[in-house]
Each structure stands twice: as C-alpha cells, then as structure tokens.
Structure 1
Amino acid sequence: MKGRTIVLDHLGDAEAAALMVDGQLEDLLVDAEDLPRVGTIYRAVADRPVKGQGGMFLRTPDGAAFLRQVKGLAPGQQLLVQVSGHAEDGKAIPVTQKLLFKSRYAIVTPDAPGLNISRSVKDEAERDRLLEIAHDAMGEAPHGLILRSSCAEADADEIAEDIGAMLTLAATVLEDEGTGPETLAEGDGPHVMAWREWTAKAEVVTDTGGFETRGVLDAIGGLSQDRVGLSGGAFMYVEPTRALVAVDVNTGGDASLAAGIKANMACARLLPRALRLRGLGGQITLDLAPMPKKDRRPFETALRAAFKSDDVDTALVGWTPLGHYELQRKRVRIPLSEVIS
C-alpha cells in the first residue's frame, strides 16, 4: 500500500496513533496510562535538594519529580515545571523549568524571547511572509516564538490562530496565582500529537478497529521480537536492560571482506526507527560487527544523517576503548514492552 496513512485508534484501553508509510509502520505513539504525559505543566513545590545529583526533588499532584537544578531554590518554594520525559520504574518524574507551549505551527517560548523560523524553511519570500504573520499575531506579547517547518505554505489565518491559542495557554499558566501542587496544563495525547507532529499530507483513518484493518497490529506484533533484519542477510538485536539498551550487530551468512561495514551501515540507517517504534531511550551501546578503524568515520556520518530526521533528541557520544559506540537518547516515550506486556 503506497503513500502515508495516519491511523488513530487504541491499544487495549490506551489511546494510540500509528504512521504507516508505504505499508510499513514508521512511527507509533501510545498513551502512558496512569503516568503523566510529556508536556504536562505543574505548579510544584520544592521538597529537598540532592546535591550529589545536582538537583531538587519536587512535590507534584502525580508524585515526586526531579529537577536538575539547585541554585536559587529552597525547600517550600513554588515553581512552574514541565514534564520532559517518562520516568523509569521507581524513579521521579523528570521535569524542566524551560516551559514550551507547542502546537502544530507554533512554539511559544516564555524564557527565550525573539521570533524565529525553522531553518528548514529556505525560501526567503516565504520566510518574510511568516515573519509578518508572527509580528501581527504576537503583538506586544513578551514571549519568544518559533514557527515550525509545517508553516511553509500553510494558511496565514491557521498559523495566526495557532499562535493565538498558544499565547492564551501561556498567559493562563504564567499568570496562575494558586498555591500548592497542581496540574495547570495536560500534555498532549497520541491523537493530538499525531496532528501536531505528522504534518505531511496523509490519509487519516479514525474508524474503530483501524489498527487491525490497516495492518498496524501485525506490525506491532513484530516489535515484540528483539531481532531486526538488515539488508544482505545481516541482523541486529535491540535488547533493553535496566541499565541501558544493548544493540548487537551481526553479519549473518556474509563472509566477504566488506561484511562488517555493510552490516554496520545498515544498522545506522534502521536504528532510529527501531528505537522509536519500541519507545526506547537512555544509554544505548552498539556492539558493532568487526570493521577496520578507517570505516568508523563513514559509519558515524551515516548514523548522524539517520538521526537528523528523528524527532527524539539523541546525542552521538562516541567510541569506547573496547570499540563500542555509545548514544544518549531522551526518554520521551513509554517503552512499548510496558504497553503490550
């Protein structure tokens, strides 16, 4: 099946959204039941500092949160924070004080003034048009604004309406005068996130049972396996542990001199999708197939290019003394294994 299809449905009782591209599952968003959504904003209360970890535990309506900041904070102080990722089992909710009010076209940034346009919008005339829209819509608002790549060729009224909605939400949150821990804004669920993030032209399926009729359930079933097939008969295992995600690359039956670099390059191309669909983040260690050191640079270039289009922040850390390659990936999604177990 050619083309892009967005399927909005549920996995069990959990809201979920799937992006199918040419019949293949390209992305999957699943709601984290009983867990705060990424993007949720709290009025929190500082509890106790943990100087050894360079942070502060906070009290929120959803339990303990952890903020990586101690300077200027005192126990009992109230502050606004936003959920920045999913907490590991038994750990505090990760939060940040850098609030973002994010929608399909606009991101309002209270702590970063200025008007900015996505660098992927190259046409100068289009950039000028978007700046005009931004200036008119922002008025005298003191906040910063980022216009996303989805603004390119979009209707001016729709962009202005989006900016206005985010300004209204920002004002409601920032002008809050309440006391004690409270949820001030809920993070977006999978269906809204699909509208917000998957902006390229696509067929949208909202019928109940769409996951079954469009092949999403079959694709999800395949994700329960750790083994991922690569081109040329090679394969890799993507195995999450409590400490890290281990990726083991194997050449399969290829015994040629270039087998190692071919398998590793195939891993570089498919790794972002494999991690994204499984909802995996944190420390990631690649145990690559044997290859000469001269081939490391092309591998890094391929890996960097592959992650460039991925929407989850991933830092390419580098090589270890044992020849493994390490990455650090933000935990912004719940592991799929916790949803379908």
Structure 2
Amino acid sequence: MKGLTIALDEIGGREAAALIRDGLLDDLMIDSDAPRPGTIYRGVAERPVKGQGGMFLRTPDGSAFLRQVKGLVPGQTLLVQVTGFAEPGKAIPVTQNILFKSRYAIVTPGKPGVNVSRQIKDDDAREAAMESAHEGFAEAPLPQEAGLILRSSCADAAPEEIAEDVVAMCRLAAHVLADEGREAEVLVEGDGPHALAWREWTEEADVDGDPGSFARQGVDEMVEDLRRPHVRLPGGFSMIIEPTSALVAVDVNTGGDTSPAAGLKANLAAMRDLPRQLRLRGLGGQIIVDPAPCPKKDRKQLEGLLRAGLKKEATESVLTGWTTLGLMEIQRKRDRQPLRDLLK
C-alpha cells in the first residue's frame, strides 16, 4: 500500500500513534508513566555534583539532573525542560534551554530574532510565513529577549493556521516565563503521542483516528514483530537486535547465502533498516554492530549509507567509528523509552 497513513489508537491502555509509510511501520510513539520530554518544571536546586559540573534539582516527578550550572546555588528556583527519558534509577535529564514547540512555530527564549526554516527554499513561501508570523505578533507579541523559528511545515500551511500557532506559542511562553513561584511544580506537560503526531508528522497523510485503527491498519501485527529480536531483511538476510544493561548489540547475518558478495549485501540491507529499527524499538545509548564478514575496503560504503540514514533521524545519532575487532560503534540519544518496557 503506497502513501502515508497515521493511525491514532491505544496499546495496552496507553495512548499511541503510528506512522505507516508504503505499508511499513515507519514510526511509533507510545505514552508511558515517565515524565514526557518537553515537560517544563519550576525546579529547585538541591546539591551540586562535584567533578561533573551538574546539579540535582527537586521536581514534582522526582530528582532531575542539570548540566552546566555555573552560578546556581542550592535553594534557587529555575525553569527547566525534560530532554529525554531517564534510565532506571537515574535522575530525569533536563535543560535550561527551553523551547515552546508546536506544528508551525518554535518560540526560543534567550535567542531573539525571527527565522524561517532553511528547508523552505521558495522565497514567496518564506515571505508568506513571515507575514503570518507578524500577524500573530499583533495579537500576542513575542516575550522580551525571545525569538521565533517558523518550521518547514509552514511551506504548505494556510496563513491563518500559522498565525494561530504563533499566537498560542507566544502566549504560552509569556505565561511560563513570567512565573515567580518558589516551589517545585509542573508548569507545562509534554505532548502525548497524538499531539506529537500532529506536531511532528507534517507530510500529507491519511489519518485514521477512530478506535480500532491499529487493527484496521495492521499496526498490531507490526508491533508484535518488534517484540522479537530477529529482523528479516530483503534477500533472505537478517539481523538480531538485543538490548542489554550496558549497550544494544546488533548482529548481521547472511543466512543461507554463501556467495562472495553475501557479506556486503547483508550489511547494506542492515544499514538501510537499522535507523528505522532503533527508532521503532525506542533504543539509544551505546549501540554495537557486528556486521557480516566485511573487509576494510567495504567499510566506507557502509559508513556512508548508515550516516545518511542517521542524518535523517530526529534523534541525535552519531556513528563514532570501528573497534579493533571490526565492530561499528553508534551513540544515540535516549529520547524514548524502550518498546520492550512499554509492552510488558
């Protein structure tokens, strides 16, 4: 089935959203009990961490950890935003670089200026987006010392939709930035899967938001496949993806193909699909790939293909190189909870 479909439903009583591209599951978001990324707290500084340049903060959802805290003293209140999910037993990762993000606009406190996404190449579209933003400013001006980024989704949006989004984000930012409370509190709840789907999946797509959409669109079966470590690849090849407490291990196999080119073909198939698999499974941290037999002359080709795939990811992912044993090393930000934890 060609085209894009967005399905909005639930999995195990949790709100969930699925993006299906040409019949394949391309992205999957499932709500969890952990604080959502994007949540904004009024936090209270508690104690510094010597040697790490960080500070533990008190929040309503437990301890949070903030890096780069020069000048911050215990007892001081400050606004912070959740950047990802904490590993078991660790503090919530937060930042002071707060963003107020919606489908068309991002308000950036401390970074003044109005900018349009570089992905919008057409001059008329850029100018129309700027005009819509200024119409929004007439109703709700930007907070002092704050800026605005008009996202790439503005290219095909109606002017009134852009202006409405700008107004909403400016008002939210002004309200939060004016906060003068002294106790730990949640000021803005992060978006759930359905809101995130509207905000981030901006390509033209069919939307199935009625109950039972996952069953109708085949999402339930595709999610069931993600429970298994074994991933079937084109050409009869496969890879095994197994998270451990220290890292994520990926093993690429040639299957029954014993031809001289089998190793290269299996590795290329794995590199094409690996970013999608990591995204769907919610895996991050240190990722070690054990490729099929791979002479050094083939490494550059594999690196180029994988880097191109990782570059398209919204999650920060970096191919750091090869070990002396011929294993590929990837570092990926933990901005989602592992799927296996959500499907228990």
Q: Which residue of 1 aligns with 2:174?
A: 171
1:286 pairs with 283, 286, 289, which one? 289
State the Cα distance separating 1:40 from its structure 2 match: 0.2
**Is contact 1:46-1:73 (8 Å) kept?**
yes
> Residue 223 of structure 1 aligns with which residue?
226
- Report the equivalent of 1:28: 28
Q: How far has the Cα of 1:242 moved from its partner?
A: 1.0
1:2 and 1:22 in contact (8 A); partners too: yes
Match for residue 2 of structure 1?
2
Aligned to 1:66: 65
1:114, distance to aligned residue in structure 2 (A)? 2.0
The DSSP-based 3-state class of the residue aligned with 2:51 is helix
Quote the RMSD (CA, aligned, Å): 1.4
Q: Which residue of 2 aligns with 1:127?
A: 126
Unpaired segments ≥5 residues, structure 1: none
Contact 1:230 1:236 in 2 (8 A): yes
Q: Identify the residue that residue 320 of structure 2 maps to in structure 1.
A: 317
Match of residue 335 from structure 1: 338
| 1:20–1:26 CA contact under 8 A, matched in 2 | yes
> Contact (CA 8 Å) 2:310, 2:318: kept in 1 or not?
no
Q: Distance in 1 between matches of 2:175 and 2:69?
A: 27
Match of 1:158 among 156, 161, 171: 161
Preserved contact between residue 230 and residue 241 of structure 2 (Cα < 8 Å): yes
What TM-score do you get using the length of structure 2 for normalisation?
0.95
1: CA distance, partners of 2:296 / 2:103? 43
1:28 to partner: Cα distance: 0.6
Question: How many angstroms does 1:292 deviate by?
Answer: 1.9
Q: CA deviation at 1:216?
A: 0.9
1:99–1:111 contact (8 Å) kept in structure 2: no
Tell me the amino acid that sits aligned with residue 250 of structure 2: V
- Structure 2: how far apart are the matches of 1:210 and 1:45? 42
Distance in structure 1 (CA, Å) of the matches to 2:12 and 2:239: 29
CA distance in 2, matches of 1:220, 1:70: 41
- 218-227 or 137-146, larger mean C-alpha shift: 137-146
Fraction of identical pairs, as percent: 62
Matches within 5 A, 1:48-67: 48-67=47-66
Whole-Å separation in 2 of the counterparts to 1:109 and 1:213: 40
Code of the residue aligned with 1:299 in structure 2: it is: L
Aligned to 1:16: 16
Q: Cα deviations across residues 57-107 of structure 1 (Å, max 9, x unaligned)? A: 110000000111232111111111000001111111011110011100111
SS of equivalent to 1:152: helix
Q: SS at the partner of 2:86?
A: coil
Give the aligned length: 340
CA deviation after TM superposition for structure 1 residue 3, in Å: 2.2
Note the residue ranges of structure 2 that are not aligned, 5 or more in a row. Answer: none
TM-score, normalisation: structure 1: 0.96
| Counterpart Cα distance in 2 of 1:113 and 1:224 | 45
What does residue 110 of structure 1 align with? 109
Q: How far apart, in 1, do the equivalents of 2:52 and 2:264 lie?
A: 39
